[in-house]
A and B are shown apart, each in its own frame.
Chain A
Amino acid sequence: MPDMPDENYKIKTNDVTVDYGDKRALHGINLNIQSNQVTSLIGPSGCGKSTFIRCLNRMNDLIMGCHVNGSILIDNTDINLPETDIVELRARIGMVFQKPNPFPKSIYDNVAYGPRIHGLTKNKDDLDHVVTKSLKRAGLWKEVSDRLDASGLSLSGGQQQRLCIARAIAVNPDVLLMDEPCSALDPIATAVIEELINELKERYTIVIVTHSMQQAARLSQKTAYFHLGEMIEFDDTSTIFTNPKHEMTESYITGKIG
């Protein structure tokens, strides 16, 4: 793959290792992620893809005994520097999880929560505007505009996941990390989220962990294959799924043993 000028990469990781106590979970990951693209991380369970994605907004800080080494640059700034404001970082690098996790609050308050605590809006009108805009971008506005006071928990699974996406984008992030965002959803809700992700990449850099090969193939421009804590191959998604260079990648994506 030809090298790109450094400035075109939103995220640059260099020799990232992660240890959980004395167990090494990631071995020197070097992965550069382009802006406004969807990058998929695939690999068997326990391969380190979720561990890696959690490094990108320092979610691993919350895990006792977890040590991250190497450099992770986002917009050319090392996010592991001591002076990094973690709260501000996690607003810039939003995250959506496997299971939708709306707050036990109204739909409106779920989305307004981030802008409120980060002081991003000046007044109620401003906040209303952010909530409306975020729900529209998350493709949920038409379904909930007449019941913003209803509990977020009253929505269907797919709607709840889109509410979580609206909540993440309400604080104006640059990057969205998604850890198996559709694995708890039915095929229709999955298709809606996938279409949304495809639209969202125009504004955000998206990194997605998925166990669905078809989802990675449909959604992403770049795909990385992880195995036992190592990144085995990283290339254009079309190359990974039509002509992978590494035998381990080929075996994994085609479901082979022996």
Chain B
Amino acid sequence: MVTHINSAFDDDIKDLNNKIAKLGALAETQLDETLVALQKKNIYKFEKIIERDKKLDKINDSISASVFETLALWSPIAYDLRSILVADKIGSMLERIGDYSKNMARRSQIIVNEEHFETLPVNIIGLGQHVQNLLHESLDAYMELNIDEAMRIWESDVDTDRLYLSIFKELLSYISDTPDDVKMLTHMIFISKNLERVGDYTTSIAKQTYFLVEGTVPKSERPKASIII
């Protein structure tokens, strides 16, 4: 393993990476528990998810402080500089993913007891599991510096967009058919949109991984699907 002559710098980087790993694991837990609670209508779980979001904010603040200090004290360059800047960005993205989970938990609290909630055949959970896998894979690619996997994830955002669009269209049609459920359906649209945004962040994590390893952003155009109708 290649190490720095000054081992204290390696210690700082290791500490930063540990914080990212911890934040990543928590962001995954938040998303997973939100989806499970939504599926099982576990109203009590949502409160825990909302409360736990503070932990993610705290870890992200700690990452920002470490990044600030490391930049000031070590003046890192080349790969070292990229690794610190990328850690800062990915930290912020994971914190935002946590925010989306919290927001979904809040909306879920409102809709799970609605009369028609269970009768709607909308595959929000399917979309959630899709982005959940992407989040896990993108974090693995980042930790393992696997740019082939990162590029695959980066290019796969189009699948998330398509899934989201199909759910969005479906929910719009229900709004026309059952105007009494408009409040619940609107919350469901927001939940779907939040999941689509989590998908976007996973592709950003993949893109940052590519930049970290290669020192440039991917040259090809990312395949995209329209998410606006």
Chain A positions within 8 Å of B, measured between CB atoms, are 213-214, 217, 241-244, 250-251, 253-258
Contact = CB atoms under 8 A, between A and B. Distances in A.
A244 B215 CA distance: 9
Contacts of A258: 1-3
Contact of A256 (B3, B75, B81, B215): B3
24 contacts: A214-B75, A217-B77, A241-B78, A242-B77, A242-B81, A242-B82, A242-B215, A243-B78, A243-B215, A243-B216, A244-B78, A253-B77, A253-B78, A254-B4, A254-B77, A254-B79, A255-B4, A255-B5, A256-B2, A256-B3, A256-B4, A257-B2, A257-B3, A257-B4
Q: How large is the interface on B (under 10, 10 to 19, 20 to 34, 35 or more residues)?
A: 10 to 19
Given A242-B78, A253-B77, 5 more contacts: A243-B215, A256-B2, A256-B5, A257-B3, A258-B2
A254 B82 CA distance: 12
A82 to B, nearest CB: 44
A112 B40 CA distance: 91
A256 B78 CA distance: 12
A257 B9 CA distance: 13
Contacts of B215: 242-243
A257 B2 CA distance: 6
A211 B97 CA distance: 44
Interface in B1-31: 1-6, 9
A214 B81 CA distance: 13
Interface string B54-83: 000000000000000000000111111110
Nearest to A250: B78
Contact of A257 (B5, B75, B80, B216): B5
A256 B81 CA distance: 14
Contacts of B5: 255-257
Contacts of B79: 250, 254
Contacts of A213: 77
